[in-house]
Structure 1
Amino acid sequence: MRINDRIRVPEVRLVGPNGETVGIVPTHEALKLAQEADLDLVEIAPQGKPPVCKLMDYGKFKYEAAQKAREARRNQTNVIIKEMKLRPKIDAHDYETKKGHVVRFLRAGDKVKITIMFRGREQHRPELGFRLLQKLAEDVQELGFVESSPKQDGRNMIMVLGPHKKKADAKVELEAEKQERMAEREADAQEVRAERVATQPTPSSEKKAKRANEALDPDIDL
C-alpha cells in the first residue's frame, strides 16, 4: 500500500476522509489537500484506472487494522480432532472410561473421531459397531452431535462427533469452572483454619484451667 510521495501516478481518483467521492484530480493536488487537512494520501485500489486514493490518518488506520486482526485471531475457532478407538464387544467399565474421554474432549470444544475396530469374525457383524456408536452418540448428545454418520472404512467403522460449543466459548466456560473450584477449595481451607483457631485454648483459658486444677488437687497445702 503506497502513501503520500510514494504515489507516482499523474492523477488519482480521490475519496475524501468521510468516504465522499471527490473525483479525478492531479496527484500533486491530492497531496496538497492531504497536507492541508493534516492527513495522508493512501492508495486503496492501485488496480483502478486511475488508482483510487483516500485521505485518511494512516497511523490510525494501521492501528485499527491491527486491532481487528488480533480480534479475529482471538475469535478464530481452532478445532482439534481427537480420536477414540473402541472394540465392538467392549466391556461396560472400558466403555465408561472411553466415554469419559469423549465427554472431556467435547467439553473442551474439540471434535472426536470414533473408530470401531473389527477383528476376525467381528467383521461380519457391523451392526455391533453401529449400535455401539449410536449408544455413544446418545450418551453424549448434551455435549455433541453426530457430524459424520457411522460408515464402514475397511475393517473399521468411523463416526465423527462435533461439539455444540465453539472452542473459545468452551475455553471460557472451563476456565470459569476452574476458578470456581479454586474458590471453593480456598473457602474450605479458610473454614478449616477458622475451626482450628476456635478450638485452640487461649492463654487466659489455660491459666484458668491450671488454677482450677490446683484448687482441686488434694496435695496442695491450704
Structure 2
Amino acid sequence: MILNEKIKAAVVELTGVNGEDLGIISTKEALQMAKEQGVDLVCLSLASSPPPCQLVNRTNYKEQVIKENAKNRKAEKGVKVKEIRLSAYIEDHDYDTKKRQAERILSSGDAVQLTVKLEKKESQEAKRLIEQFIKDLTHCGKQDKGIQVSGKQVVANLLPL
C-alpha cells in the first residue's frame, strides 16, 4: 500500500472519499486535498498510467481490505459438502431437527448431501422423504442433480442459494 508522499507519479486518477470520480489531477493537488479533508491518499495500483488513487480514512481502508481478503480466501476454499444421514422411517421431531440442521448448513454457505440408508425394500419411502426434504428447503437451497437411487442408499445434493 503506497500512501501520500511516497506516490511518485506526476498526475493521478483520483477518487474521493465517498467514491465520487474527481478526474485526473496532479499529485500535489491530490495531497493538498487529502490534508484539507484529514484523510490519506492511497495508490490502488501501479499497473496503469496515470495510477488510480483514492482519498481514504486509513483505519477504514485497512478494515475494508481485511474484509475483502477474508471473503476472497473463503471463495478460494470453495463449497464444503456436509452429509446428513436419515432413516426412511423418521419421526416428525427427528425430521424437524434434521431440517433445521440442513438450513443452518445451507445458510452458512456449505452444501448438504442428504443420504438415506436402505434396509429391505424401502426405496419408495426414502425417495418420498428426500423429495419432501428438498421441497421444505427450497427457501435456502436448490437441488444440484436428481435424486440418485442406488442399491443401498438414496442420495440428493442441495447447494446454497
Mark yes or no: TM-score above 0.5. yes
Query: What TM-score do you get using the length of structure 1 for normalisation?
Result: 0.46
Q: Identity over aligned residues, as a percent?
A: 19
Asked if 1:149 corresponds to 2:146, the answer is yes
CA distance in 1, matches of 2:65, 2:22: 26
Aligned length: 139
- Equivalent residues of 2:86, 2:116 under 8 A apart: yes
- Equivalent residues of 1:12, 1:52 under 8 A apart: yes
- The answer for unaligned runs of 5 or more in structure 1 is 73-77, 167-222
Larger Rg: 1
Asked if 1:83 corresponds to 2:80, the answer is no
Structure 1 pair 152–138 and aligned structure 2 pair: CA distance change class (3 A): closer
Q: How does 1:107-118 map to 2 (within 5 A)?
A: 107-108=100-101, 109=103, 110=105, 111-117=112-118
Structure 1 pair 17–103 and aligned structure 2 pair: CA distance change class (3 A): closer
Q: CA RMSD in A?
A: 3.9
Q: Which has the higher helix share?
A: 1
Higher RCO by CA contacts (8 Å cutoff, separation 6 or greater): 2
Instruction: Decide which of 130, 143, 150 is 1:137's aligned counterpart.
Output: 130
CA distance in 1, matches of 2:21, 2:32: 18
Query: Residue in 1 aligned with 2:74?
Result: none
SS of corresponding position for 2:49: coil
Query: Residue in 1 aligned with 2:3?
Result: 3
Asked if 1:34 corresponds to 2:30, the answer is no
Structure 1 pair 159–46 and aligned structure 2 pair: CA distance change class (3 A): same
Q: Which has the higher strand share?
A: 2
Query: What TM-score do you get using the length of structure 2 for normalisation?
Result: 0.59
Deviations 1:105-139 (A, max 9, x none): 21131435223447xxx7xx7xx52x122331365
CA distance in 2, matches of 1:21, 1:31: 13
- The answer for unaligned runs of 5 or more in structure 2 is 72-78, 106-111
